[in-house]
A and B are shown apart, each in its own frame.
Chain A
Amino acid sequence: MKVTFNLNGGPQYLDVEPGEPLLWLLRQLGMKSVKEGCATGDCGACTVLVDGRAVRSCLMLAPQIQGKKVLTLEGLGTVDDPHPLQKAFLDSGAVQCGFCTPGMVLVAYELLLGNDNPTRDEVAEAISGNLCRCTGYVKIVDAVLLAAQWKREGRWR
C-alpha cells in the first residue's frame, strides 16, 4: 500500500507492506541510526520522533505514519555540522558504545523542545524509557543539561 510522509524534512511516497514494522522501513530507507535492540518496545534503541513525539518504531507499522512527520537522528545533524545536542553528548562523554545514542538524543530533543531549563530529575524522567548499559546515565544527563544551557544561551539553531 502507498504511504506519503515526511522523513527528516523531505517528502516520501512509497509502497509498503501493511504489516511492515516502521523500524524495518526506516532502516531500508538508509536510516541506520534506528537500531533494533529488543523488538518488543522495552529498550528504546529504535526511538524516532513522529510529529514531534518520541515513539518506538518497532511497535509501529509502516502505514501508521501516513501523513506524519518522522525525524530520525540522521535528520538532526551531521558529522560536519552536528546539532548542539549531539555536540553536547560528545563533549560530555555521554557516548560509549553509541548503540543507545540515537534514541537517547531523540528523547532528549523532544524534552528540550518543550523545556529548555529542565532539572536533573526531569532529564532522568525524560530518558527513562531508553536503556543504556554502558554509561550509568550520569554523563548522558550531564549532556542534556549542557545542551539545555546552550539552548538558553541561544546557541541552538
Chain B
Amino acid sequence: MHRTGIRRFHLARDVEEALSLLSAYGGGGALLAGGVDLLRGPPGQVEGMIDITGIGLSQVGEARGGLAVGATTTLTEILKNPAASAYVGGILCEVLRQVAVPPLRNMATLGGALVSAHPWGDIPTSLVALGAEVRWRGEREGKAPAEELYRGEFRGLFRSAVATEILFPPWNGAFAYEKIGRARYDIALLNSCCGVGIRDGVVAWARVAVGARPDRGERLPWAEQALVGQKPRESLWGEIQDLVQGQVEVGDDRRAGAVWRRHTAGVLVRRALIRAAEKAGR
C-alpha cells in the first residue's frame, strides 16, 4: 500500500476551481478522477489531490452525428450508455469491454485513459483510429485530435489543463478491434483498431492503427492509402497484411519480441479489416 505525501484533498465544484487549485499547487497538484493510474504507482510528488468527478464532466451524448463523452465518464457508464453502444456499430463498446476488468472499469474514466496514454493501452489506439478530438480547458480552451496530442507534449499540457470532453466523429463505415494479451484480462501485447468505408464497391476511406508495438497506438497512413480505391476482397487483406508486416515499426519489450509483433501486427490488421469490411458491407 502506497502511503502518499498527500496533504490536502479538494472536491472541486467546477472546472474553474479545479484549474485554479491546480495552478495554486504549481507542480504539486494532481487531478483525480478514477484514480486507477494515479493511486497505483509510487507516491510521487503529489501534495494536493483535486477530485474532479463533481465538475460536470460525466456525460455521454450524440454530438454532430458522432459521440461526445465527458472526460470523467467511467468506462462502465460509457458501456451502459445507449448512444455509446450505437456509435459506429458499437466499436467503442467493443474496445471498452476488453479494457481491464469490471471493477476497474467502474472507476477508470475515458479522460484518465486519454491522459495516462499507456503505450499498451487499448484506448489510445482506438482514439487515434477513430479520429477522436480532445477538448480541454487550461489557461484557455483548446481542442485537437488525440493523434496530434500524442505526437506532441501532451503530458505537459495536462499538468495545467483539464481534459473536458472527447468527441468521436461520425463514420460512414465500420470498425473492428483486435487484441492479444497473455490472459483474457491482460493489457495488450499488441492491438489493432481498423475501419473502412465502402462506396460503390470500393474502399472509400480506411483507418489502420496498431498499438502496444510496444509504443503507443499510431495510424499507419501508408496502409490506409493502399486500401483506398481498392475492391474489398480476400487478396487485398492479404496484401495489406504483407505490407504491414514489411513496414510497421515495432520493438522488443519484456512482454513480447519485435519479430512476433511484426508478424502479428499484419495478422491483427488483416483480421480487423475483414471484420470491419463485413460490418461496413451490411
Q: Quick check: which of A54-62, A73-81, A88-96 contacts chain B, the rest being far away?
A: A54-62
Residues of B within 8 A of A28 (CB): none
B interface bracket (residues with beta carbon within 8 Å of A):
20 to 34
- Residue B7 at the chain A interface, CB threshold 8 Å: yes
Distance in angstroms from B43 CB to nearest chain A CB is 8
Does A10 touch B at the CB level, under 8 Å? no
> Taking A39-B1, A59-B39, A128-B184 as contacts, is the C-beta distance between A19 and B106 under 8 angstroms?
no
A44 contacts the other chain (CB 8 A): yes
Query: Is B104 touching A63 in the complex (CB atoms < 8 A)?
Result: no
- Tell me the bound Cα distance from A1 to B51 in angstroms: 14
- Shortest beta-carbon distance, B113 to chain A, in Å? 14
Proximity string of chain A (1-26) to chain B, C-beta cutoff 8 Å, 1 when within and 0 when not: 10000000000000000110101100
Residues A19 and B5 in contact, CB atoms below 8 Å apart: yes
- By a CB distance below 8 angstroms, the chain B residues around A54 are 102-103, 106
Say yes or no: A61 contacts B102, CB within 8 Å: no
Interface residues on A, range: 20 to 34
Give the residues in chain A near B39, CB-CB below 8 Å. Answer: 21, 41, 58-61
Chain B interface mostly = loop
**Alpha-carbon separation in the docked complex, A18 to B4 (Å):** 9
Residue interface bits B52-76, CB-to-A below 8 A is 1, else 0: 0000000000000000000000001
Q: Which residues of B contact A61 (CB under 8 A)?
A: 6, 9, 32, 35, 39, 49
Closest beta carbon of chain A to B247's beta carbon, Å: 36
Is B103 touching A47 in the complex (CB atoms < 8 A)?
yes
Residue from A1, A24, A44, A61 with most neighbouring chain B CB atoms (10 Å): A61
Is A129 part of the contact surface with B, judged by Cβ < 8 Å?
yes
Q: Mark B93-111, 1 if CB is under 8 A from A, else 0.
A: 0000000111110110000
Would you call A151 an interface residue if the criterion is a C-beta within 8 Å of the partner chain's C-beta atoms? no
Residues of chain A in range 31-73 having any CB-CB distance to chain B below 8 Å: 36, 39-41, 44, 47, 53-56, 58-61, 63-64, 66
Q: Taking A53-B76, A60-B35, A129-B101 as contacts, is the C-beta distance between A19 and B107 under 8 angstroms?
A: no
15 new A-B contacts at CB < 8 Å, known A24-B1, A64-B51: A19-B9, A23-B1, A39-B2, A55-B103, A55-B106, A56-B104, A59-B35, A59-B40, A61-B32, A63-B9, A63-B51, A107-B103, A125-B102, A129-B101, A129-B185
- Closest 5 pairs between A and B when the two form their complex, measured CB to CB: A129-B101, A19-B6, A18-B9, A19-B4, A63-B9
